Amino acid sequence: MPYSLSEEHVDVLWECLATDPRSSDELYIWMCGQVRLREQHALSPDSLRHVFIKKLPSLPPETVTMHALSLFQQLCSIARSSEGQDIEAAASSMDYLWKIALCATRTGKRKVLFLCLAWITRSAVSFVYQKAYFQM
């Protein structure tokens, strides 16, 4: 079984690399690769959820790069397709994505963010409403 980084390891990587504008994109690119290439998973599902729920939303919305947004989008896809679909993940991701979209400073980036938001929200909102309806 391949070695997976713990949440503590992810926290250390995050503090060292994500907080430095010169290296943060390299971390996001590497994490995207971990999400895409299943056979190279250095990040467990719990570590990926930790990045999605705790780490990415800790970034100031106005500093989110396109690589960070790509990671965010991939983790949103995983959260939506996972068994039992995580309402906490869906709600926090939508909230954070709105913050990013509203704080984007460049027009091109803002347009891309709103397109991503529309794509992600379409199924996330549908899921949240379906879940609430069936629990009644």
29-67 confidence digits (pLDDT tens): 999 998 887 666 788 888 888 999 899 999 988 888 889
Residue 26, pLDDT above cutoff 90:
yes
CA–CA separation, 55 and 12 (whole Å)? 11
Per-chain mean pLDDT for the chain: 77
pLDDT score, position 114? 63
Section 12-41 average pLDDT = 89
Sequence-distant (6+) residues with CB within 8 A of 134 are none
- Give the bridge partners for 43, in sequence order: 5
State the pTM of this model.
Answer: 0.74
Residue 123, pLDDT above cutoff 90:
no
Quickly state the pLDDT bin for 69 (edges 50, 70, 90).
Answer: confident
CA–CA separation, 35 and 44 (whole Å)? 10
Quickly state the pLDDT bin for 128 (edges 50, 70, 90).
Answer: very low
Judge whether 40 and 47 are in contact, CB under 8 Å.
no
